């Protein structure tokens, strides 16, 4: 079996998901993920659709394990997990694969992601401040500043996405 | 506007899940039942279904069956859930009646 490793960094899971599905269309299936390192295995093109989800708990938590069992009953495969993120896939021969079928559950998920962005954002703000007043590690500050800048952009876009969903939700439950 | 739990409208997903759980069903069974009942219109996605089931269990409207190892977890509606479903059914009837009255449309000519 052919495999290849690709290094990439995505802050926006939705773009990452699009990319994984483009790879799957070409016959490259994600098998392992570790912090920007994606391992793909080759197969017939377009066999699986991939979805990425942020869990409420860590993957080894009983609640997450219960959810994974539930997904398996639905023929949804857990490909890999990383922190609270999970990579899922389902055969394309089945119905189109989506995780959420109404606005409420979609908003709930997007909101969970926004909260994670905020936590990472504030940790980096604190790191910047520590580095400002205690310049022992003066190169780290640029790294943290880059994350803060990048994240503020991503968070704004994410905030708008949630607003749009909420707007749609005021008139309908789903599209 | 403050509302009590008795008056709030159920989401379509919750309404159909409760309808399906008049008898014990596991996750996939619920999805299939709802899809068939609604002639393929309502397709509950796995994440949405799981989230709804978890909050319905928390509310006490449904309960999960005692799970033997290796068996799929099944759910069933409680009496509380049934009461809530009846309230919703009456609310929906009222919606339909209001629509028919104000639009001058009866059930057979739509």
Residue range A70-104, pLDDT digits in tens: 999 999 999 999 999 999 999 998 788 999 999 99
Asked if A113 and A13 count as a contact pair (C-beta separation under 8 A), the reply is yes
Q: Which residues of A touch B72 (CB under 8 A)?
A: 73
* Residue A130 resides in a domain: yes
Name the B residues in 59-98 with CB < 8 Å from any A CB: 72-73
Q: Name the residue facing B48 among A66, A67, A100 (closest C-beta).
A: A100
Quick one: pLDDT at residue B1?
41
Alpha-carbon distance B100 to nearest alpha carbon in chain A (angstroms): 21
Is beta strand A3-7 parallel, antiparallel or unpaired with respect to A37-42?
antiparallel
Q: Which pairs with CB-CB distance under 8 Å and at least 24 residues apart come from A69-72? A: A69/B73, A70/B27, A70/B46, A70/B50, A70/B73, A71/B46, A71/B50
The interface predicted TM-score (ipTM) is: 0.88
Count how many Cα atoms sit within 13 Å of the Cα of residue A118 in the half-sphere of its side chain: 8
Q: How many CB pairs under 8 A join A and B?
A: 51
Residue B9 has pLDDT above 60, yes or no: yes
Quick one: pLDDT at residue B2?
45
* Residue B7 resides in a domain: no
Residue B66 has pLDDT above 80, yes or no: no
Q: Name the residue facing B51 among A76, A108, A174 (closest C-beta).
A: A108
* Domain of residue B35, residue span: 12-103
* Residue B3 resides in a domain: no
Let me know whether A32 and A86 are in one domain.
yes
* Residue B93 resides in a domain: yes
* Residue A40 resides in a domain: yes
Let me know whether A37 and A11 are in one domain.
yes
Q: How many domains does chain A have?
A: 2
Let me know whether A81 and A125 are in one domain.
no
* Residue A44 resides in a domain: yes
Let me know whether A50 and A118 are in one domain.
no
* Residue B1 resides in a domain: no
* Residue A143 resides in a domain: yes
* Residue A33 resides in a domain: yes
Q: Name the residue facing B28 among A73, A99, A104 (closest C-beta).
A: A73
Let me know whether A128 and A151 are in one domain.
yes
Q: How many domains does chain B have?
A: 1
Which one of B17, B31, B34, B48 would you mutate to disrupt binding with A, by most A Cβ within 10 Å of its Cβ? B48
* Domain of residue A34, residue span: 3-91
**Lowest-confidence range among A5-9, B54-58, B71-75?**
B71-75
Put simply, whether A54 touches B (Cβ < 8 Å) is no
| Residue A134 banded pLDDT, cuts 50, 70, 90 | confident
- Please, which residues bridge with residue A4 across strands? A40
Residue A138 has pLDDT above 70, yes or no: no
Domain end among A36, A57, A91: A91
* Residue A81 resides in a domain: yes
Residue B97 has pLDDT above 50, yes or no: yes
Count other Cβ atoms within 10 Å, centred on residue A2. Answer: 9
């Amino acid at each position: 079996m052919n495999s290849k490793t690709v290094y990439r960094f995505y802050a926006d899971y939705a773009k990452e998901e699009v990319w994984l599905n483009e790879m799957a269309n070409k016959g490259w299936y994600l098998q392992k993920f570790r912090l920007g390192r994606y391992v793909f295995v080759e197969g017939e093109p377009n066999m699986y659709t991939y979805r990425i989800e942020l869990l409420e708990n860590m993957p080894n938590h009983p609640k997450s394990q219960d959810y994974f069992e539930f997904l398996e009953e639905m023929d949804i495969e857990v490909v890999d997990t990383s922190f609270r993120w999970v990579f899922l896939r389902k055969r394309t021969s089945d119905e189109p694969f989506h995780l959420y079928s109404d606005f409420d559950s979609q908003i709930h998920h997007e909101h969970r992601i926004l909260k994670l962005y905020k936590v990472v954002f504030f940790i980096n703000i604190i790191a910047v401040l520590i580095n400002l007043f205690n310049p022992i590690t003066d190169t780290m500050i640029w790294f943290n500043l880059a994350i803060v800048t990048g994240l503020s952009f991503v968070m704004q876009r994410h905030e708008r996405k949630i607003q749009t969903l909420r707007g749609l939700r005021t008139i309908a439950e789903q599209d | 506007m403050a509302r009590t739990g008795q008056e709030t409208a159920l989401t379509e997903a919750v309404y159909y899940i409760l309808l399906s759980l008049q008898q014990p069903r596991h996750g996939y069974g619920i999805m299939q039942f709802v899809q068939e009942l609604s002639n393929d219109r309502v397709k509950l996605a796995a994440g949405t279904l799981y989230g709804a089931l978890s909050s319905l269990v928390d509310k006490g409207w449904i309960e999960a069956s005692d799970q033997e190892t290796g068996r799929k977890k099944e759910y069933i509606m409680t009496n509380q859930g049934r009461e809530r479903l009846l309230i919703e059914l009456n609310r929906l009837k009222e919606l339909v009646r209001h629509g028919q009255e104000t639009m001058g449309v009866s059930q057979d000519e739509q």
